[in-house]
Chain A
Amino acid sequence: MELVLAAAIGVLAASGVWLLLRPRTFQLIIGLTLISYAVNLFIFSIGGLRTGADPVLQDAAGGIAQYADPLPQALVLTAIVIGFATTALFLVVLLTSRGLTGNDHVDGEDGTP
């Protein structure tokens, strides 16, 4: 499971960085979204990967191996909400830029006169 998750984070982040460096605004926002997926998965995995574990210990002596740390899950939830809001805001700016400049280049001009 670790390998699959690590590969998924790596592929998402790599694609995201590639898209981030592209010149079109649509590629930019998809790139940012992919990177934020990768980061969210990464935060999620920080608590360790366990299936069917409780976030609250059953008893004082409870097995720490069967414990899912709830804090990274809380963090990732916050990160998702904030990422979602800023992405929506960014989309509006992209559309405004498209409307004002008439093209979708990040610099507002294509280089072609």
Chain B
Amino acid sequence: MSNHLVIAPIVTPLLVAALQLLVGEKRRRAVLALSIASCVVLVLLAAALMQAVSADGALATVYRIGDWPARFGIVLVADRLSALMVLLTGVLALAVLPYALSRWQHRGGHFQPLLQFLLMGLNGAFLTGDLFNLFVFFEVLLAASYGLALHGSGVRRVSAGLHYIAVNLTASMLFLLGVSLIFGVTGTLNMAALAELIPHVPERTRALLHAGAAILGVAFLIKTAMWPLGFWLPRTYAAASPAVAAMFALMTKVGIYVLLRLGLLLFGDGAGPASAHFGSDWMLWGGVATVAAGTVGMLGARDLAKLAGYNVLISSGTLLGAIGLQQPAVTVGALAYLVISTLAIAAFFLLAGLLASDGDDDTDDTLSLEPYEQPGETAANESLYAQEDESRVVISAPIAMLGASFLACALLLAGLPPLSGFLAKFAMLAPMLEAGERPGALVLFTLVIVAGFGTVIAMCRAGMQIFWVEPERLFPTVRLSETVSILALLGLCLLLTVVVEAPLRYLRDTARQIHTPAAYIRQVLPAAEAPP
């Protein structure tokens, strides 16, 4: 019975989304209550899942759909890594939800059901143990993300969404090609069975297998936005409404998750001399290039949401490079960095939306970092600001809150002490120095430091422009629900600065587990099921 826990994070948002569609958009309160309930339940489920997989002796929980043995049917597998990602999804959704309530959800239809479908796809992608099933869940989450990216409509959003959808449809085709090539060579799509078969693939078809894996990898690298496959990202994320962009901060991490999982499961040390560490150099150097491109882009960014978008690129690139090294100690730090950077970037997207807001719910806002007096400025806006000037106090509470949050975001993203961004970066970078035999390790180390420095410069410049040079641009009312979201996300990062021991132990166990996949394979494919 407790086994059904594994499928619950997928079924819950599906049922809730269906219910919300039945209830209808008119009954806002009911839809809202359903959404909140679903997110709370998801967090609880993820916590229970984490408890279950981190108990002594438990490695992973396997759920066989339709009770078919893993070699024939589709399985869902929850191990430490999956449970961590599901928890991160739930927490992020719960934290972003209040922000969406205030005004964003009314900008277009069906925001809440789409969000639930996105959660379903994300959880499914994290929990599945089958490559084709992974494709299906990817499509579920992408279809929902298309809807969310376009949420609120407007020329900028539709044009960015058009590029986003075209790129992702092409990536899906590559995904299918890769999956079918791998199936053609090995005859199975179960990840554990694949890991078992890869050392025994005959030499003459190994090239085909590698081609399949490479094509599959490109599909994930597009979603991770590796340079030069990531040009769609900053524009799409900047155009999406802030609550959506905050959720999207997690979507690049889905690609990272799959690359981490498949890279170590299929092409780890156990894959035989011909296939071991296949593609890890590509990930490492691709990560290096992505960090460099992200830093340059960030220094040149002309509006705040784009700046946040380039932060996503830097975070993706750092993670790609770190998992490309395939060192357990680096992976521990990379997982910590993944969690912290996702939360911090989500908070930054929300904050950017708030700073750009001019208090008018019906227009789209972008906060340009150019000097304020622009020819495009309307007279109506100017009169609005003129009115504010009369009643403005020197530093009002909302502006103090915005400023403090901005500072916290900057510290977290740049990885400066004393916040957890520093701890995560340190945990990732320190072991990199010891992994000296890979020349790329030092390059990545240097570049991540440089990127941190670039983040400081870009954030300082943006902060000065916003808070010091032209503070009258800020609309000095902030709604409670929006504050709650941002403070919750930043509070979580702060909490992870103080409470370090238990999470780090969990991450260490996680890294050990994914670096020794033999136990995972045994768990998914018990010996009793071996074919005769």
Binding site for B on A (CB under 8 A): 20, 25, 28, 32, 35-36, 39, 42-43, 46, 71-72, 75, 78-79, 82-83, 85-87, 89-90, 93-94, 96-97, 100-101, 106-108
Contacts and interface: CB of A to CB of B under 8 A. Distances in A.
Interface stretch (B31-39, B171-179, B412-420, B522-530): B171-179
Contacts of A89: 143, 146, 165
Q: Name which of B142, B146, B176 has the most chain A CB atoms within 10 A of its CB.
A: B176
B173 A107 contact: no
A93 B161 contact: yes
A46 B180 CA distance: 7
Interface stretch (B150-158, B320-328, B436-444, B507-515): B150-158
B184 A46 contact: yes
Nearest to A86: B169
Given A42-B180, A75-B179, 9 more contacts: A46-B180, A75-B183, A86-B165, A87-B169, A90-B166, A93-B165, A96-B150, A106-B166, A108-B162
Contacts of A46: 180-181, 183-184
19 contacts: A32-B173, A42-B180, A46-B180, A46-B184, A75-B132, A78-B132, A79-B176, A82-B136, A82-B172, A89-B143, A89-B146, A90-B165, A90-B169, A93-B146, A93-B162, A96-B153, A106-B162, A106-B163, A108-B155
Contact of B136 (A42, A78, A90, A100): A78
Nearest to B139: A82
A33 to B, nearest CB: 10
B477 interface: no
Q: Name which of A28, A79, A83 has the most chain B CB atoms within 10 A of its CB.
A: A79
Contacts of B153: 96, 100
Interface string B170-200: 1011001101110110000000000000000
Nearest to B154: A100
Contacts of A20: 166, 170
B159 interface: yes
A51 B414 CA distance: 61
A97 B158 contact: yes
Contacts of A108: 155, 158-159, 162
Nearest to A89: B146
B183 A71 contact: yes
A101 B139 CA distance: 28
A35 B177 CA distance: 11
A90 to B, nearest CB: 5
Q: Name which of A36, A93, A97 has the most chain B CB atoms within 10 A of its CB.
A: A93
Contacts of A107: 159
A28 B169 CA distance: 11
A100 B159 CA distance: 9
B158 A86 contact: no
A75 B143 contact: no
Contacts of A35: 170, 173
B176 A43 contact: yes
Interface in B253-310: none
Contacts of A94: 162
B514 to A, nearest CB: 27
B484 to A, nearest CB: 33
A43 B173 contact: no
A86 B159 CA distance: 17
B139 to A, nearest CB: 5
B339 to A, nearest CB: 31
A93 B173 CA distance: 19
Given A75-B183, A78-B132, A25 B173 contact: no
A42 B154 CA distance: 38
Nearest to A109: B159
B173 A36 contact: yes
Contact of A32 (B150, B159, B166): B166
B136 A72 contact: no
Interface in B298-348: none
B49 to A, nearest CB: 27
Nearest to A79: B176
